[in-house]
Structure 1
Amino acid sequence: MPRRFLFLEPHFSGSHKAFAQGLKAHSRHDIELITLPGVHWKWRMRGAALHYAGALPDLSGVDGILVSNMVDLARLKGLVPNLPPALVYMHESQLTYPQPKGQALDVGLVMQEVTTAFAADRVVFNSCHHRDLFLENLTPFFNRFPDYRPTGLETVISGKSMVIHPGCSLPAVMPDTEAKQLDPPLVVWNHRWSYDKNFPATLHALRVLADKGIPFNVALLGETAGGKAEAPFHEARKVLGKRVVHFGYCESAEAYRAWLARGAIVVSSAIQENFGISVVEAMAHGCLPLLPKRLAYPEILPEAFHDAHLYTSRRDCIVKLEGLLGTCREKAGSAVELARLMNAHDWKNLIPTYDAALSALAR
Structure 2
Amino acid sequence: MLRIALQRFASDRVGIRLRRLHTAMCTNCRSQTTTEARPAATMSVLLIEAFYGGSHKQLMDLLKGEIEGCVLSSLPAKKWHWRARTAALHFMQAIPPSDSYRVLFTSSVLNLAELVALRPDLGKLRKILYFHENQLVYPVRKNQDRDFQYGYNQILSCLVADVVVFNSAFNMESFLSSISKFLKLIPDHRPKNLEPVIRPKCQVMHFPILFPDISRFLPEHKKAPQKISIECLGHHTRINDHSQNESAKVEPALSSQVKEPLEESIDIVMSSTKSSSEDDRQAISEPSPSSIHTESQRPLHIVWPHRWEHDKDPETFFKIMMKLKDQGLPFCLSVLGEMFTDVPDIFSEARTSLGSAVSHWGFLPGREEYFRVLCAADVVISTAKHEFFGVAMLEAVHCGCYPLCPKALVYPEIFPAEYLYSTPEQLLKKLQNFCKRPGIVRRHRFQGATAPYSWASLSGEFRSLLTAEPRKDL
Q: Secondary structure at the match of 2:121?
A: coil
* Structure number, greater radius of gyration: 2
Structure with greater helix share of residues = 1
- The answer on 1:64 being equivalent to 2:108 is no
Q: Write the distance in 2 (CA, Å) between the matches of 1:358 and 1:156.
A: 23
Contact 2:88 2:112 in 1 (8 A): yes
State which of 183, 203, 220 in structure 2 corresponds to 1:162: 203
Deviation at 1:296, TM superposition (A): 1.0
Q: Secondary structure at the match of 2:404?
A: strand
Contact 1:216 1:243 in 2 (8 A): yes
State which of 215, 220, 236 in structure 2 corresponds to 1:178: 220
Q: Secondary structure at the match of 1:203?
A: helix
Instruction: Mark the CA change 1:103 to 1:227 in structure 2 (over 3 Å): closer, same or farther.
Output: farther
Contact 1:8 1:35 in 2 (8 A): yes
Q: Secondary structure at the match of 1:57?
A: coil
Structure 1 counterpart of 2:309: 194
Q: What residue ranges of structure 2 are gaps of 5+ in the alignment?
A: 1-41, 223-294
Deviation at 1:53, TM superposition (A): 2.2
State which of 23, 26, 50 in structure 1 corresponds to 2:63: 23
Contact 2:402 2:446 in 1 (8 A): no
Structure 1 counterpart of 2:423: 313
- TM-score, normalising length from structure 1? 0.90
Structure 2 counterpart of 1:271: 385
- The answer on 1:48 being equivalent to 2:163 is no
Q: Write the distance in 1 (CA, Å) between the matches of 2:469 and 2:354.
A: 52
Instruction: Mark the CA change 1:151 to 1:248 in structure 2 (over 3 Å): closer, same or farther.
Output: same
Instruction: Mark the CA change 1:337 to 1:292 in structure 2 (over 3 Å): closer, same or farther.
Output: closer
Contact 2:111 2:157 in 1 (8 A): yes
State which of 295, 298, 301 in structure 1 corresponds to 2:412: 298
Deviation at 1:239, TM superposition (A): 2.2
- The answer on 1:113 being equivalent to 2:154 is yes
Task: Give 1:76's aligned amino acid.
Answer: L
Contact 2:308 2:343 in 1 (8 A): no
Deviation at 1:237, TM superposition (A): 2.2
Q: Secondary structure at the match of 1:335?
A: coil
Contact 2:214 2:399 in 1 (8 A): no
- The answer on 1:6 being equivalent to 2:46 is yes
State which of 121, 130, 133 in structure 2 corresponds to 1:92: 133
- The answer on 1:356 being equivalent to 2:464 is yes
- TM-score, normalising length from structure 2? 0.70
- The answer on 1:252 being equivalent to 2:252 is no
Q: Secondary structure at the match of 1:86?
A: strand
Contact 2:164 2:203 in 1 (8 A): yes
Contact 2:300 2:434 in 1 (8 A): no
Moved over 4 A (4+): 360-363
Q: What residue ranges of structure 1 are gaps of 5+ in the alignment?
A: none
Task: Give 2:91's aligned amino acid.
Answer: Y
Structure number with the bigger relative contact order (C-alpha 8 A, sep ≥ 6) is 1
Deviation at 1:209, TM superposition (A): 2.1
The percent identity for this pair of structures is: 33
Q: Write the distance in 2 (CA, Å) between the matches of 1:87 and 1:129.
A: 19
Q: Secondary structure at the match of 2:303?
A: strand
Contact 1:171 1:285 in 2 (8 A): no
Contact 1:64 1:361 in 2 (8 A): no
- Name whichever of 342-351 and 126-135 sits farther off: 342-351
Task: Give 1:251's aligned amino acid.
Answer: P
